[in-house]
Each structure stands twice: as C-alpha cells, then as structure tokens.
Amino acid sequence: MLKALKKMFGKSEAEPLAPVSSAPVPTSGSRNDGKQPGRTAAAAQPKKPTVTPPEQAKPLEATPAPAAPKPRRERAPKPPVTPWKLEDFVVEPQEGKTRFHDFKLAPELMHAIQDLGFPYCTPIQAQVLGFTLAGKDAIGRAQTGTGKTAAFLISIITQLLQTPPPKERYMGEPRALIIAPTRELVVQIAKDAADLTKYTGLNVMTFVGGMDFDKQLKHLEARHCDILVATPGRLLDFNQRGDVHLDMVEVMVLDEADRMLDMGFIPQVRQIIRQTPPKTERQTLLFSATFTDDVMNLAKQWTTDPSIVEIESENVANVNVEQHIYAVAGADKYKLLYNLVNDNGWERVMVFANRKDEVRRIEERLVRDGVNAAQLSGDVPQHKRIKTLEGFREGKIRVLVATDVAGRGIHIDGISHVINFTLPEVPDDYVHRIGRTGRAGAAGVSISFAGEDDSYQLPSIEALLGRKISCETPPTHLLRAVERKRP
C-alpha cells in the first residue's frame, strides 16, 4: 500500500503531503463576497499534479544569467523659467518719440507690448494716453491705421489693473465696454485686447450679431467679464434679456462714432449708455475718423470736460499708398479688374464696390474665371465672414470683394493692392478703402475705376485729399476679353 501511494503521488516518506486549503481563491477586480462568478465547485478544486515518467524527464538546463540592464537615459533637466522683468524690455530714448516706458504701465502690460514689438508710441497713442491714464475723458481723431485701438485698450487695461474688482460681482457685469459699428471691427478689437491682456488675467468677450447666441451666452456664464467688445444690436439683446448688466462699467469706449451715425446706430447706443453709470462716474473715450457737428454734439452729451486729440497730417490719405485712377466705361470694368489681377499675379488684393449685389456679381465672375476670390458683405453669415477673413489673411484667398461696411476695420498686413471697382459715395470712405494697403510702413497701390456712373464723385474726393489725381487711360491689353475657363 505504501509503495502504491508513493508511486501515485511521487512523494517520499520525508515529504509529507501539503494539506488542501478550503479558503476561497482570491480574485482581481470588483468585490464579490470571496466568490468568483461562473465557477463551479469542481472547477474550484486544485488540480492534481501530473507525474512525468523518469524516462521522459528532461535534463535540467543551466539557467542563463540575466542580461545586464540597459543604462537608464537621464532626461536633461528643464531650464528654470526666468521671470520677465521690465529691464528685459530695453528701449533707448529718442528725440521726438514717446516710449511706453514713459508712462506708468503695469509690468504685465509692458510684457505684452514688448511681445507685439511696439517700442515707441504713435502720435495719437502718446497724446491720448497722457490724458486717459490720468482719468480724463477724451475725444480722438486720427486717420486709419494710426494705433488708436491700442491707445484706448492700454488705458482700459491700466484702469482695471489699478482698481480691484468689487467683492460682490456677477458674471454678466463687464467693467469696461467698447462699442463698435461692425462685426469685423469688434473681432479685430477683441483680438488686440486679447494680445495685450495675455499676462494680466483679465477676460475679454465679444458680442456680435450673426453668430450663435447661445454660444456667446455660455461664454458669458462661464467666467467674469472684464472687457466686453460688442456691436450695439447684439449688446442690447443681452441687456434686455437681463443677461448683461452695465451698471458697473468703469470705462466706456465708442469707436468710429461717425460710422455709427451713418449706419443709424445712435438710438441703440443711447439706450445702452442709459444703462451705464452717469458720465461723472465713468470714464468715456470717443473716437471718430471725422469731427462733424453731429459727432461733437454726441461727445458733449456723453463726456465730461473731454480732452480733444487731433492728429493732423499733411496728406489725408496714407503717404505710403500710390494712387491711380483709370477712366473706363462701366462695361469694361470687369475686364480691367480681371486682367490686372491675372496678368500681374497679385496674391492679396481687396476690391471695393458700393452695393451688396455688385460685390456678389464680381465675386461670382472671378470664381467662374478661375480666380480664388471671396466676398464680404452684410449678406454673408458671420461664421463664414470670419472664415473668409482668416483665409484671406493666410493667403488662401487672392481677391476679397467687399462693401464699405464690411471692409471697415479690416487690418490685414500684406494687402498689396486696393481696387475701387466703383468710387465711393462718401469721400471719407475713399480714405478708409485705400488705407487697407500700405500698412505698417509697407508700400501699397490703389487703383480706382472712374466710369460714366460714378466719375462725378472725383471732385469731392480730391477736395478731401487736397490735391488732384490725374486720370489715366488703361493700356489696351488690359481691356481684352476674358477667356472663359473650360470645365
């Protein structure tokens, strides 16, 4: 019997049998009272060991020595981040120029100004900041592209950093309000504000019509609003719903007041201003390309003892823009436009027309004839307008056709040519149109088409410029018929 047991279990007398434990087998995962689901009692029993006959047993092999571990590659330690200091922003004084260092600006703001590459103030910035940083109201007039946006943004940011927000504050209570007439201008101002506030912790929001209302509302409900940039209509929508309250506005800016007058926004602006604190308890800045009697009357109503800043120029139009006028029949305007763009290989051109239907037709014909073009007018949905501007900025769109309202406030560097397909009905619009080129010190060219229907606008434009512009006859090859592209 003993020999039979030995043979069955392969155990010697010196090796007693290990007792079989009745404890449950531990499992990984979720708790289940020590039991594993799906297992029967038989399956839970330990398996009997398999005995290998001596003649089949394999000889023991020497266990190979473990391979030496690979040396651990040490990661280079990250260099310590050196805090930015004002001493890192070195700008030497120059006679006749004002540095941003000459004002008491917060280091966080100066850091952003350095990132943007602005060592010296433009004339309007130097004059406006001298008043607004002291808390005074101001009215400013300067030609397009002079830096007025940065002037009022720097003033706003300084005010908000110097004055802590109230302890009790709701999400829909902006501390600074900027009203602008067009969606494009609002988006541009908000972008500049984001660049200047990136080290400050201040929040910038935009309200514009034509974009998702609920999405803008969610942004408003997600965080406090420090600087709100808005068009009048959409701002009133939020205000009348009770989502935005303007009783805590410390600084209010009205940009392009003359354009808001032209577009009929003043009644809406009046409603908005009534919701803000009295003019003696807020700082008000008003900017306009022109100081008409109507603009000055509004300024008198909405400001308190304002400082008036006017930046005069010997030339109303940008001196970096070379201006041409082609006398051409209305029926030949499109041929002239197409051949100018196509023959010269221009890559970033802006074309202006007076009416939305003109803009649409020009864009459709250019696309049909193989030119990568897009339109910008009040009929284009806002999300598409933003996408179009980005495509134009990135060089994916060669020709942007726009109305004056849509083109106002577009600041894109590298626009080589501006073409006035039709002369503007308001002389000031001519200056704004050609100001889209020749920006940031670069050279630009404007070409205006004077036809039988709009050439009568020339005398008033020349009177504004203070000089004559000679009309030219376009070369014959630029009036040749457009060859239709085969599909």
259 part of a folded domain: yes
More confident residue, 206 or 483: 206
Give the domain extent around 377.
321-479
- Report yes or no: 177 and 232 within 8 Å, Cβ to Cβ: no
What is residue 144's predicted lDDT score, i.e. its pLDDT? Answer: 64
pLDDT band at 217 (very low <50, low <70, confident <90, very high): confident
Indicate whether 455 and 339 sit together in one domain.
yes
Average pLDDT over residues 136-146: 83
281 part of a folded domain: yes
- Report yes or no: 172 and 240 within 8 Å, Cβ to Cβ: no
pLDDT tens column, 180-189: 988 888 988 9
What is residue 143's predicted lDDT score, i.e. its pLDDT? Answer: 66
| List of residues 6+ apart from 260 with CB closer than 8 A | 179, 181, 232, 254, 266, 269
pLDDT tens column, 307-337: 999 876 544 566 778 899 999 999 999 999 9
Indicate whether 158 and 262 sit together in one domain.
yes
What is residue 215's predicted lDDT score, i.e. its pLDDT? Answer: 81
> Among 288, 310, 332, where does a domain finish?
310
Displacement of CA 221 from its chain's centroid (Å): 21
Distance CA 160, CA 126 (A): 20
Indicate whether 302 and 333 sit together in one domain.
no
Distance CA 435, CA 318 (A): 6
Average pLDDT over residues 391-416: 83
| List of residues 6+ apart from 66 with CB closer than 8 A | none
Residue 327 CB: number of other CB atoms within 10 A? 15
36 part of a folded domain: no
For the chain, how long is the longest CA-to-CA vector? 130
What is residue 45's predicted lDDT score, i.e. its pLDDT? Answer: 43
Phi and psi, residue 9, nearest 5°: -100, -10
Residue 251 pLDDT > 90: yes
Indicate whether 406 and 456 sit together in one domain.
yes
Distance CA 362, CA 341 (A): 13
Indicate whether 301 and 353 sit together in one domain.
no
Indicate whether 359 and 278 sit together in one domain.
no
**pTM of the shown model:** 0.63
133 part of a folded domain: yes
What is residue 209's predicted lDDT score, i.e. its pLDDT? Answer: 78
What is residue 336's predicted lDDT score, i.e. its pLDDT? Answer: 96
Indicate whether 274 and 396 sit together in one domain.
no
Using H for helix, E for strand and C for coil, what is the string for the chain? CHHHHHHHHCCCCCCCCCCCCCCCCCCCCCCCCCCCCCCCHHHHCCCCCCCCCHHHCCCCCCCCCCCCCCCCCCCCCCCCCCCCCHHHCCCCCCCCCCEHHHCCCCHHHHHHHHHCCCCECCHHHHHHHHHHCCCCCEEEECCCCCCHHHHHHHHHHHHHHHCCCCCCCCCCCCCEEEECCCHHHHHHHHHHHHHHHCCCCCCEEEECCCCCHHHHHHHHHHCCCCEEEECHHHHHHHHHHCCCCCCCCCEEEECCHHHHHHCCCHHHHHHHHHCCCCHHHCEEEEEECCCCHHHHHHHHHHCCCCEEEECCCCCCCCCCEEEEEEECCHHHHHHHHHHHHHHHCCCCEEEECCCHHHHHHHHHHHHHCCCCEEEECCCCCHHHHHHHHHHHHCCCCCEEEECHHHHCCCCCCCCCEEEECCCCCCHHHHHHHHCCCCHHHCCEEEEEEECCCCHHHHHHHHHHHCCCCCEECCCHHHHCCCCCCCC
Q: What is the residue whose two structure tokens read 């400001």?
A: 303
Residue 116 pLDDT > 60: yes
Indicate whether 286 and 194 sit together in one domain.
yes
Indicate whether 248 and 128 sit together in one domain.
yes
Average pLDDT over residues 77-98: 82
Indicate whether 330 and 275 sit together in one domain.
no
What is residue 302's predicted lDDT score, i.e. its pLDDT? Answer: 95
What is residue 406's predicted lDDT score, i.e. its pLDDT? Answer: 66
Distance CA 157, CA 467 (A): 41
Indicate whether 362 and 247 sit together in one domain.
no
What is residue 208's predicted lDDT score, i.e. its pLDDT? Answer: 85
What is residue 362's predicted lDDT score, i.e. its pLDDT? Answer: 96
Indicate whether 349 and 225 sit together in one domain.
no
The number of folded domains in the chain is: 2
Q: Mean pLDDT across the chain, nearest whole number?
A: 82
